[in-house]
Amino acid sequence: MDYQKYNALLITQEKNILTVTINRPEKKNAITAELHGEICTIFNDIEADDTVDVVILTGSGGAFCAGGDLTWLLSQHGDPVATSVGIAHDRKLQNTLLDFEKIIIAKVEGPAVGLGCSLALLCDFVYATHEAVFADPHVSVGLVAGDGGAFLWPQLIGYARARRYLLTGEPISGLEAAAIGLITESVAGDQLDEKVAKMAARIARGATHAIKWTKASINAGLKVTANAVIDRSAAYENMAMMLDDHRIALEAFQEKRKPVFTGK
């Protein structure tokens, strides 16, 4: 498989373990149109690569992914054609990862926010530093949690806790995320690489088909819930992208002030 076409993703391989690194360190790996498109195609390429059994997904520069780039989001505001492209990519990505049978391990340090958080939580194992930050703050920028949070968080930590975090956008540390079952485990920063490498190696030398098909069986139930939520949350998010509140929030974040929402 030729991975040279990817610009915003750094791809490396050691035996049957492939590492995908989101590579915009100067912007905490925030998602642009280019990166969004690449994330939506990389897993299809990996699925077709017979040399890969395990994927490690991580970010460069001490961050996992800070969510959507504010400049990119502002450039789409009020344009239903432009926003619908991004929404379609989100829907495709969620379904692709739910159907993806190879094991994915998320290695998280720094922020995993918005779509970045959903990317991590859609992985089979999520290891993070104690200080990592997980958040789905769509509501904080006047949006709906349409890229995975609306179905993922309730399944992982229950509806009561999910409402607390999704309806407020409140962030939590890696330590707390592990304690409530949102992620697999949190570790000290100097132990993260070793922890992920050991699990990747363990899976890589396991019974490949048994592991893949067990994962597929686990995800079968999750897909039932996801299919009931994805289209609705995506449609609502696209509608929210047309509203003044979304623009107000983005401008406020750019100017480092609190947004004053109008409900319009």
* CATH 3.90.1150.10 applies to domain 9-204: no
| pTM, 2 dp | 0.96
Amino acid at 152: L
Domain positions in the chain are: 9-204
- Give the H or E element holding residue 207: none
In tens digits, the chain (264 residues) has pLDDT values of: 889 999 999 999 999 999 999 999 999 999 999 999 999 999 999 999 999 999 999 999 999 999 999 899 989 988 888 899 889 989 999 999 999 999 999 999 999 999 999 999 999 999 999 999 999 999 999 999 999 999 999 999 999 999 999 999 999 999 999 999 999 999 999 999 999 999 999 999 999 999 999 999 999 999 999 999 999 999 999 999 999 999 999 999 889 999 999 999
Would you state the structure tokens that stand for residue 184, as one six-digit string? 């697999």
User: Are 173 and 131 spatial neighbours (Cβ–Cβ below 8 Å)?
Assistant: yes
- What is the b/e burial string over 220-255, where b = at least 16 CB atoms within 10 angstroms of the residue's CB? eeebeebeebbeebbebbbbbbebebbbbbbebbee
Amino acid at 198: K
Would you state the structure tokens that stand for residue 176, as one six-digit string? 């707390």
The residues with which 68 forms a beta bridge, in sequence order, are 31
